[in-house]
Amino acid sequence: MSEYSHARTPMEEPAGFSFENTMRNEMLQRAATSGRPLPSATKTGTTIVGMIFDGGVVLGADTRATNDTTIAEKNCEKIHYIADNIYCCGAGTAADTEKTTDLISSQLELLRMNSKSQPRVVTACTLLKRMLFRYQGHISAALVLGGCDVNGPHIFNIAPHGSTFSQPYTTMGSGSLAAMAVFETEWRENMDERAATELVKKAILAGVFNDLGSGSNCDTTVIRVDGTVTVTRGAVTPNDPLKLRSMINRSSKMTIPLGATPVISSTYTPFTLADVTVTEMETE
């Protein structure tokens, strides 16, 4: 079997460090300094927030992803699924937040199957912090983790180097100062769902309008203690370009209506398959 498989199994890999990519890396470095600069990682400039209310948690995020000063994506999704009762907002390098949350989501699913019980938010937090600490901050993922479990609603703040804390409300990302200003003014204990969602939207919009790294829309996710979840993509869309675009008058030559090209004739030719027989493949 081994001569047919090209992928190295763990048994066959040589021990020690692999230096396969050193030549390629050197070449890339030379190309970066002399000719074309290396592409920079897409960062989510970001405003992300999370807060506890009477009956669950609300998570909020903006939707702008940047590549230095260019907007790479106007409507990206920053609230990631971890479990049915746990969601996570991510700021920092977009790929890092996406992959880290995916990895921990899959680890939690296996744990859920093995323990036959609903995963806890603190478990997700511990899995995330252990991984991020191991990478000593090189994985640029700043996360706001939120969810409801047997112990009630929780919000965790997870920094890229692996330190965490739990608070009733928290913000992260480049727009965190703007959002925190809103929270510190208006957050109260035991707010109802409607007031909590409005406050989260207000905090995100503070980031959207006052921070260059955040923009476009506000997404929200409400996770309630009774187990229900409401994911709202585009809860607020104050930067919709459609209205402005539709005001542009284009010449009628640019808008060709349906049916303008007449159909002269049509023919239908079905393909007939050649003789179909099943022959067994030779295997060892």
Q: Which residues are part of the catalytic machinery?
A: 46
Quick check: 160 binds another protein (CB under 8 A)? yes
Q: How far is the CB of 147 from another protein (least distance, A)?
A: 20
Q: Which stretch binds another protein (CB under 8 A): 71-79, 159-167, 186-194, 275-283?
A: 159-167
Quick check: 167 binds another protein (CB under 8 A)? yes
Quick check: 164 binds another protein (CB under 8 A)? yes
Quick check: 43 binds another protein (CB under 8 A)? no
CA 79/CA 76 separation, integer angstroms: 9
Q: How far is the CB of 81 from another protein (least distance, A)?
A: 26
Quick check: 93 binds another protein (CB under 8 A)? no
Count of residues that interact with another protein, criterion CB under 8 A: 16
Q: Could you give the count of Cα atoms lying within 13 Å of 175 in the half-sphere of its Cβ? A: 32
Burial of 68 (0-12, 13-18, 19+ CB in 10 A): exposed
Q: What b/e readout covers 186-196, taking b as 16+ CB neighbours within 10 angstroms?
A: ebeeebeeeeb
CA 182/CA 23 separation, integer angstroms: 51
Q: How far is the CB of 41 from another protein (least distance, A)?
A: 15
Q: How far is the CB of 165 from another protein (least distance, A)?
A: 5
Residue entry with tokens 């060709």: 256
* Other CB atoms within 10 A of residue 278 CB: 4
Positions touching another protein (CB under 8 A) are: 129, 132-133, 136-137, 157, 159-165, 167, 176-177
